[in-house]
Amino acid sequence: MLKNSKILLVGSNGQLGRRLKSIFEDKCYLVSFSRNELDLSDIKNIKQKVLVVDPDIIINSAAYTSVDQAEIEKDICFNINSKAPEILAKTAGILDIPMIHYSTDYVFDGKKNGVYYEDDETNPINFYGESKLIGEKAIETNLEKSIIIRTSWVYDQKTKNFLNTIKSKLDNEEKDIFVVNDQYGSPTWAKRIAEITFMLVNRIVERPIWGKYHFSSLGRTSWYEYAKLITKVYKPEKIKLIKPTSSKNLKQPAKRPQNSELSNIKINKVFGLYQKNWVKDVELCIKELKNERDKYE
């Protein structure tokens, strides 16, 4: 069934989009739009471009993810994270096709003592989280055949993310590295999200259960412990200390939830899709990164 399907992937140049493209491109008729090919901050042409493709499924992996910059570029962030998903959902409705969309743990305020479930009350504390929540609601309002996957702390070998930021500091900075130790969640490899998306697309052909699902790696950690693991596995040439600090000391423009650990129970039960341990995945990701680097040295 999938082999004969035309899938439209939006956001193919992002860290998740690249992984999705690599998995889907030889298994179906894939049409992928990078940011240059479909700029979601320019909302005027989205509907027409999708209608021209006439896909069987839309996968939207595009997002504005710079949490601090979102506090400044609110219009751009809103168009990409809120308005564009609404237009994509409405267009999917016109075509009577399903859409898969990705959201974030930052739709929660982080005050809960325990994991977050899909039906827990949302209360974003920064504009990025607010824009993603508005996007979620727009999709739910305009398209019954939709699956929204909330994930957390996404990383991969390429593009800007926490893992690459720490790696860059280890390679280029002389001073010790301070990382917050009072925010908790689950680092999730983009490769795993892409893999479960592929399995999910195959599952919904037989069992189309629409709605919101959480998917993140197994285990809970802080950004500080995460950075320590990156340092241990990456093994930089010059030893640098990873030192803990509080969120208040960093004085970031956007607030972050202190706890954003997601429960995976629903996606496990409904679709039989399971997670890997976050530690093992970070180790594997860095190993892949090193292998890729060695090819060019």
First-to-last alpha carbon distance for the chain, in angstroms, is 42
Q: Contact, 61 vs 9, CB < 8 A?
A: yes
128 among known catalytic residues: yes
Residues in CB range of 218: below 8 A, 6 or more apart: 186, 264, 275, 276, 277, 278
Catalytic choice (128, 155, 184, 224) = 128
Q: Is 107 exposed, middle or buried (0-12, 13-18, 19+ CB in 10 A)?
A: buried
Q: What are phi and psi of 80, to 5 degrees?
A: -75, -45
Q: Contact, 156 vs 18, CB < 8 A?
A: yes
Active-site positions read 128
